Structure formats: structure tokens, C-alpha cells
A and B are shown apart, each in its own frame.
Chain A
Amino acid sequence: MQISMTVNGADVTSEIEPRVLLVHYIREVLGLTGTHWGCDTSNCGTCVVLMDGQPVKSCTVLAAMAAGHDIRTVEGLASGGTLDPVQQGFMEEHGLQCGFCTPGMMLTARALLDKNPHPDDAETRQAISGQICRCTGYATIVRSVQWAAAHPAGTGLDDTAAADTDTDTAVPDVTAETEDTEVKA
């Protein structure tokens, strides 16, 4: 069957079998291998992508079901040559080790921050609870999301220069978070 969707802002059209999972479509047909596959029971969340801004486990969505929708993968997280603050936060706060869960974690974090710009630790943990990380013990992931919350979009690194830039470790502004409590979703 023929399907069309938007992936990271670009329109794509493909001929696929109806049974093909979105995770395999993204990885093998589109060649976007940042999205990973870590289990077969929809528990691990390494395959999380954003569908119309909502995190979904792409192993549990047929590619055909994504037709007509807007998909965003880790490869589309940086925009206009600038890293998403979430990406920078994960580097600043050591929120990744082997890197396998990282793309899914970051996309969920992005969706969380879009809805709730200043989540507290408990809200952050709740948001990523559909995703397993075997390396970090989660605390630094929570700190990474807090870092991103303290650095709004557009203030991130130039993507092309990020690898070589040594930025100072920034600490989230706790006071600002407290003041913003009432605007939480």
C-alpha cells in the first residue's frame, strides 16, 4: 500500500506492506537509525518518536497508521542548525551513556517541556516512566531535562559547532521554577 506522511518537516511517500511497524519504516525505509528498537512488548520506549507532537512508541504503531500525520524523530530535534536545549541538556548533565535510550528519552522530554515548560522532578520522572534506561540510573536524565527547562529553545548551541564548544555547566534557576508554578499545565 502507498502511504504519505511528514517526517521531520519533509513529505515522504512510500510503498509498504500494511504490517510494517513504524519503527522499521523509519529505520529501514527512511534510513533514520537514531530511533531504536529495544523490546518486543512495548515497554522500553527506545523507539519513541513524536506523532503530531505526542510521544508514541513507534514499535506499537503501524507505518500505515502514521499516514497523514506529522512525525518527528531525533534527527529532526535540532532545528535551523541549532541543537534543541534538550539535546544540549543531556550532554551538559551526563544524561546518557551508551546512548541507546537517548533519542526516545529526549523526544519525550521535548514533548513534556512543550506542554509544561517547568516540570518538577516528579513530573519529569512520571513523563519518562514509559522508557527504560540501563546505564544512567535516571537522576542525570532528570537533571538534563531541568537544564533544558532552564534554557528555552533558541538559546542552544549552533549544531555545526556543538561538538567543539566547551560551554560552562549551567545550573537550573530554582527560583524561576518556583515563580512559574502557576503556569504549569
Chain B
Amino acid sequence: MTVIHDRQSNPAAGDEDRPIGYGRIQRKEDPRFVRGKGHYLDDIVLPGMLHGAILRAPVAHARLVSIDTTNALAHPKVVAVITGKDLLGLKLAWAPTLSADVQAVLVTDKVRFQGQEVAFVVAEDRYAARDALELIDVEYDVLPPLVDARKALDVDAPVIRDEIEGRTDNRIFDWEMGDKAETDAVFAAADVVVSQEVVYPRVHPAPMETCGAVADFDAVNGKLTLYETTQAPHAHRTLFAIVAGIPEHKIRIVSPDIGGGFGNKVGIYPGYILAVVGSIVSGRPVKWVEDRSENLMSTSFARDYIMQGEIAATRDGKILALRTHVLADHGAFNATAQPTKNPAGFFSIFTGSYDLAAAHCSVTGVYTNKAPGGVAYACSFRVTEAVYLVERMVDILARKLDMDPAELRLKNFIKPEQFPYANKTGWVYDSGNYEAAMRLSMQLAGYEDLRREQAEKRERGELMGIGVSFFTEVVGAGPRKHFDIVGLGMADGAELRVHPTGKAVVRISVQSQGQGHETTFAQIVAEELGIPPEDIEVVHGDTDQTPFGLGTYGSRSTPVSGGAVALVARKVREKAKLIAGAMLETRPEDLEWEKGRWFVKGDPSVGKTMAEIAMGAHGTIALPEGVDGNLDAEVTYDPPNLTFPFGAYICVVDIDPGTGQVKVRRFIAVDDCGTRINPMIIEGQVHGGLTDGVGMALMEIIEFDEDGNCLAGSFMDYLIPTAMEVPDWETGFTVTPSPHHPIGAKGIGESATVGSPPAIVNAVVDALAPFGVTHMDMPCTPARVWAAMQGRARPPI
């Protein structure tokens, strides 16, 4: 495979030939997982443990008239039944969300979405808890539901959040970025303006392991140990201290092995709180594990953006400006996970990879009778939506101008010398060489040959489509002065300790859900200290054992925590230098570093290895002035900026003209995430994200009927790609390091999920060009593609 190494000026750049910390090594996590010895939430069994189950609302919008729990309580194995009324007494009926709203833990006044939590049963075993749910009688007074976000602001729309004093409508927020007047002026003067409503439908991250918790409240010492499927254990500890009123030092959150997160496991769900209440009430540990239907119907959805896009350009294809208004459906409670000042996340990155004269976006968030969520599923805080919009609009413009979509992009890219590049909505892109990545992708795809093949096939009436997308991600939130989650600055801590025998343990604040942190964080330390990765233990997921930090989502682990780990290792290296100086009876400034060893300048034979220094640091040597014993350090890393990885994707689809079935025949993905820590793990991240893209573009959608019934509450209806729906992926890479990151690395985890849906949809629309189709909304299922071919495509709700 052709590889372009654009090392630019950063000598820290890694590549296949000289990767960070041993590069493509096997994962330290794998031996336990392939033996069935992982330790996931539902594997936890504690003495005396009870099981909880949630009774959920059968309707989308209804007054709660009464709940009768008599029969359930009479069940011989039932220990407790908790209702909203019980929680009101504990001041736990409502809990704060990550968006300064509140969410009902159990219904007290009315149901606001189908599947909402109504009562919680605690019983001796899993089966009995479910039996008891059937014994609870609930009377509802059904209200008209609000399902279509487009009608949320109508004067006669039912007001969903009427419990909020003075609230008379369903508007959550209005937010805008960019210069509206400047943008309008550019549009007014432009040769060509193209408009299109682009819907990014509601989908769901659907990790293979659902959400769950085991709560163990020790009434004697007042300590709560809470095992949770959480991507952000430290933030959860703080929130539990605030919500439940338990002192923070008496809360220990443990996040065990997690069976995938994808943003689904960032927030605090009612089930977690109910497990805690159950444990306090019963005096015994309580396990709650949701089933798949509960996961799909009640936990964080993703997307659901209705975007009115407009793009302005000159007749010869110079893109001038973009503007959009977004209607964002947030469901019944605004529980969207994003930094406090960013109610639409990082959607303002919608200017993409292009050098524009002006841009403006506005977003209106509304309540509907649906489950809460929005930010999840590898979206990097709404970057999926932003990239999808701009990459669809550029493609529509290409069609309008009768230009090749790859050529139009090449013509408008931000150029390498323009970085750091300040876009029109306030982002400063760190680095990029877009043209190199685009050319490599086209070369790997054989782009010209593909276009020739397509022309031939069109002659024969065959439907082949080629879709291009080029994206700029924004990951690694982020600088504390700009980004916080419920007041917690988005920095990450790291602690590193080298044991006397030279083995090390690094404690991190982020939490892997399969991304390989136990391996790659050891590799970063290995690179910095010269200790082999197998001699470095990575500890994460236990708030009693790890430094504070904000957790893993938004592809922020490498940018923030990875930076922290590199810096803490350098701090240890500097301390080692002082100790080595004492051991060698020489001034530290006369020492030189080679991987794993400090030696005397000009005399490489005289030196001390990290193991020797570690023994010295713990031993009896006379330590230099100001140096305490042991070989350890800690840091908190506040990144100066986010990282902006990018990628060039090309998708080839074939469509069956008789059935509308889309087959992804080839997918070429060139990614650039700067310095590459472990190429094998990066490739795996990309493959997974590309599969998400196929799912969203062709199969996945959470739809509702007019009564507010969720129509995708199981894997029978919510379709996820299997091995049969995806091709063997073709990947390539370039290396453009982040100049501000300690090892030049950028995040990568969400890039493919962000970048692939527009490539696939662009390919589908390209294939359907003979039918005059210029746009269709996801998912491009056979039925919808067939409808589009008849000119009857409709947007999803």
C-alpha cells in the first residue's frame, strides 16, 4: 500500500516504521477476553446481592393516575417496590442532566416517553424481579403525544414539560455561531446558491453490552461502592455526590470491563440511581442490568437533526459560504451530553475542510415525547451531523455545477500552509494536509477507473455509485477555559510510579470500552521511559485508584489523557535524571538520555538504566537537594487546543434496480490522526467506525408512529450490520502531527463514524442520478431507495 508520510516539522511523528512505543503490538487486554475471563458488569456477584427491574411506561404521554404495588409486594421473593412517590421523599425523583435540565428518575406526574421508568422492583433473583413487574397495576390518563419535531413549536402543540414553572412551549434553546450579516451578504452576491433539507435521523449506539449497575451501600461506614457501565467514572462520582447527597470521599465508582460504549455510557441513567436507592432501602447490594429493548428505547439516542442547508459558490466552483438552521429533537428531557457552553456540541465545525469567506449556523432545540439523548454514537459532540451536512451540500453543489465531487473538494481545501487555520465559527484547526490525503484515497480507489466503469455500467442501465467525503474532525475536549461538563473542566490527570525493580504502573482518568487503552497508554510510557510495554500496568476505571479526569468519549483519550501520560512520563524522566546524577556523582546537566537510560555525555559506557535509577530512588543513596524518594510523578493536563484529525473516504455501491437494495462493494478510507501509537489498533477503530457508517447510511433508524410508539425497540427492527453487509475495508493513512500535542497524536476513534455516512449516501445518490435523484435521507433501505427511484422519497421522523 502506498503510504505518504507527511512528517512536517514535528520530529516526534511516528509511522509504521518508527511507531510510538513498539507500534503494532498485540493487546494486553486480549488474553483475558479470549478465555472468557473478562470482568463485565453482569459478571459481578456480591454476597446477598438482589436484582432490580424497571417497570416502564407503555405510552408516550400520559398523566399518572395511580400505582398499586400491593400484589408485587406480596410476591414471596420481592424485597421492595420503589415508586416516584418514594423518591420524592428522598428528593431523588428528578436528577440533573449533563445539559442543565432535569430528568425524571421515576414518573411522579406524567409519562413523557414510551419506555420511561415508572417503578423499580427489588427481588431475590432476576426472574422474580421480572415476574413482579407484571403484578404492578398502573392507571394512566393518556395525553396527545408530540412526535414530529417540526410541530414542536406550533401554538397548539402539547406542552411536554409543563412541570416547569411558567413553561408554555417546547423550545429548549436557540444557539448560533458565525456572522449572520456577513454570511447573508456573501449569499446575496453569489453566482450559485443551493439549498437542501438534510435529515440526520435518530439512531442509537447500541453497544453489545447494555447498561447496568451494581450498587453496594455500606450502612456501617456510609460508603457507596457503585459498579457501573460508565465511560466517565470520576464525573459520575461527583454527580452522585451532588444528586444523592453522599459525601464524595464516601463514593467509589468502579467501571469494570465495558462491552462497548460508543457514547451510550456517558450519562447517568435512572437505573443507576435506582440501584443505589434499592441498596440503601434493602441494606444489600442490588444489581440492575437492562435488556436490549430497554437500552434501545430509553438510553441515549444519537443525532435527530433536521438541517436546512445552503451553500454559495462561484460558477467555476469556488465555495464561498455555508449557512444552516437546525431543528434538534432532544426528546422529553434535555440530557444531551456536551460541554456546558455548547448546547449543539461542536456542530459549528460544519464549515468542514474548506476555506470559506463566511459561515453561519443556528440551532433550535425542542422537546418531544421521546427518550432523551442526542450526543452519542461516536459523534464527537455533533460533528457527525456537521460533517454530514457539509459533505452532502458540497456534493449537491458539485452536481449543480456539473463538476466531479472530488475535484470540487480539491479546489476548495484549506491548504497546508494555512494551518493553524481559524475558521469562520471560531475553531483553530491545528494541522492538515488535505490534498495529500485526498490524492492518496483516489489513488488507492483507482478513482478514474471507477468513473470509467460507472459510465460503462450506466450505458447498460446498471446502478453504480461512487461517493466521496472529506472530513475534518474536532476531538480532545478540551481547554478548561472553554470546556466543562456540569462545571468540571475537561482536563485529565495521570499518575506514574516506577517500582524499585523498574516495572511501572500508570493510573489514568479515562476509561476504555474496547479501544485498547491498557495497551496504548503503556506504549506511550514505553516510548518516553524505555520500559517495555509489558512491564507497564495501566490502571483505570476505579475512582479510588485513579486521578480525576473526565472520561472517554469524543475521541478525547489520546488528545487529553494521552498528553497527560506523555507529560507525566517526562516528569519521571526528569526526576530520574536528578537521581542518576547523584548515583553517578555528576551534574544532571552533564547527562544525556537514550531510551531507558541516562548516561554521561561523551562517555556512553557510564550511565544508569531506569531500573537502576528506580532502585536508587527507593534505596539508601543520598538524594540530591529537593528530590524526595521514590520514582513517581503526577500531572493534570489542560490541553491548549483540540486536535483536528481528518480523512478522505471513497465508497463504491451497487444498487439492484429491481429491489432498491444497496450493496457497499468497496470502501477506501484514508485517515490522518497525526502520530500513530499502535497502527493495528487504529485500523480496528477505523473498521468499527466504517461499519457504523454502513449501519446508519443503509439500515439503522429509531422511528416512532403518530402515537409515539417506538418502532425500533429491538434488534428485530433496529438493524445493525453483520459480516454480510460490510466489505473488506481498504485503509491508508498520512501523518500530519498535531503541533500542540506532546507526542503529536490526534484522536481517531470517531473519525470513521463521522466520515463514512456522507460517503455512502453520496454514493447512493450518485448511483440514482439517472433517476434525477439529487438527495435522499438516511437510512437508504431498499424500500426507501425504491421510493426515491419513483420520486416519492420522504424524510424520516
Contact = CB atoms under 8 A, between A and B. Distances in A.
| A and B are partners in one complex rather than unrelated chains | yes
B283 interface: no
B259 A94 contact: no
Contact of B726 (A31, A41, A137): A137
A39 B209 CA distance: 9
Contacts of B260: 97-98, 100, 134-135
A58 interface: no
Contacts of B722: 128-132, 138
Interface string B1-40: 0000000000000000000000001110111111111101
B687 A137 contact: yes
A91 B729 contact: no
A142 interface: yes
Bin the interface of chain B by size: 35 or more
Contact of A132 (B26, B29, B684, B715): B715
A34 B33 CA distance: 8
A60 interface: no
B292 A99 contact: no
A77 B31 CA distance: 13
A75 B36 contact: yes
A136 B752 CA distance: 12
A24 interface: yes
A98 B30 contact: no
A142 B728 CA distance: 9
A94 B683 contact: yes
Given A97-B684, A142-B728, A32 B127 contact: no
Interface in A24-67: 24, 27-28, 31-41, 43-44, 46
A44 B715 contact: yes
B208 A133 contact: yes
Interface stretch (B273-281, B368-376, B487-495, B509-517): B509-517
Interface in A151-174: 159, 162-164, 166
A137 B690 contact: yes
Contact of A44 (B38, B208, B690): B208
B136 to A, nearest CB: 20
B592 interface: no
A138 B34 contact: no
Contacts of A39: 291-292, 714-715
A40 B293 contact: yes
Given A137-B690, A138-B691, A100 B206 contact: no
Interface in A81-133: 83, 87-88, 90-92, 94, 96-103, 106, 121, 124-126, 128-133
Contacts of A41: 292, 714-716
Given A94-B680, A100-B40, A132-B715, A38 B728 contact: no
A135 B749 CA distance: 11
Nearest to B532: A166
B127 A96 contact: no
A172 B683 CA distance: 19
Interface string B503-533: 0000000000111100000000000000000
A138 B727 CA distance: 9
B169 interface: no
A103 B36 contact: yes
Given A40-B714, A100-B259, A137 B729 contact: yes
A132 B715 CA distance: 10
A38 B26 contact: no
Contacts of A78: 35
Interface string B186-210: 0000000000000000000011111
Given A74-B36, A75-B36, A133-B208, A90 B30 contact: yes
A102 B34 contact: yes
A91 B36 contact: no
A1 to B, nearest CB: 15
A73 to B, nearest CB: 7
Contact of A99 (B42, B257, B262): B257
Nearest to A93: B680
A130 B209 CA distance: 17
A73 B40 CA distance: 17
A128 B721 CA distance: 12
B137 interface: no
B684 A46 contact: no
A12 interface: no
B208 A101 contact: yes
B34 A139 contact: no
A164 to B, nearest CB: 7
A5 interface: no
A46 B36 CA distance: 12
Interface string B604-636: 000000000000000000000000000000000
B27 A132 contact: no
Nearest to B680: A94
Contacts of B30: 90-91, 96, 99
B688 interface: yes
| Residue among B29, B680, B728 having the largest count of chain A Cβ atoms under 10 Å | B728
A135 B259 CA distance: 9
A98 B36 contact: no
A51 B692 CA distance: 32
B208 A46 contact: yes
A17 interface: yes
A38 B207 CA distance: 8
B406 interface: no
A34 B714 contact: no
Contacts of A7: none
A106 B729 CA distance: 21
A22 to B, nearest CB: 14
B68 interface: no
A126 B257 CA distance: 29
Nearest to B296: A39
A88 B30 CA distance: 9
A36 B40 contact: yes
Interface in B203-254: 206-210
Contact of A142 (B292, B691, B723): B723
A90 to B, nearest CB: 5
Contacts of B207: 98, 100, 134
Contact of A34 (B38, B45, B513, B689): B38
A24 to B, nearest CB: 7
B259 A99 contact: yes
B208 A97 contact: no
B227 to A, nearest CB: 14
A83 to B, nearest CB: 7
A17 B127 contact: yes
B408 interface: no
Given A96-B33, A99-B33, A125 B723 contact: yes
B728 A139 contact: yes
A44 to B, nearest CB: 6
A175 to B, nearest CB: 20
A84 to B, nearest CB: 9
A92 B688 CA distance: 18
| Residue among B30, B515, B534, B723 having the largest count of chain A Cβ atoms under 10 Å | B723
A97 B516 contact: yes
A17 to B, nearest CB: 7
A96 B34 contact: yes
B514 A97 contact: yes
Nearest to A91: B30
A136 to B, nearest CB: 6
Interface of B: 25-27, 29-38, 40, 42-43, 45, 126-127, 206-210, 257-260, 262, 291-293, 513-516, 534, 680-681, 683-684, 686-692, 714-716, 720, 722-724, 726, 728-729
CB-CB nearest 5 A-B residue pairs: A34-B36, A98-B514, A137-B687, A100-B259, A99-B33
25 contacts: A34-B38, A36-B208, A38-B208, A38-B209, A39-B715, A44-B715, A46-B208, A74-B36, A87-B35, A94-B681, A97-B515, A101-B208, A126-B723, A129-B722, A132-B722, A134-B208, A134-B688, A136-B684, A137-B689, A138-B726, A139-B729, A141-B723, A162-B31, A163-B31, A166-B26
Given A96-B30, A103-B36, 5 more contacts: A75-B36, A97-B516, A129-B723, A134-B208, A139-B728
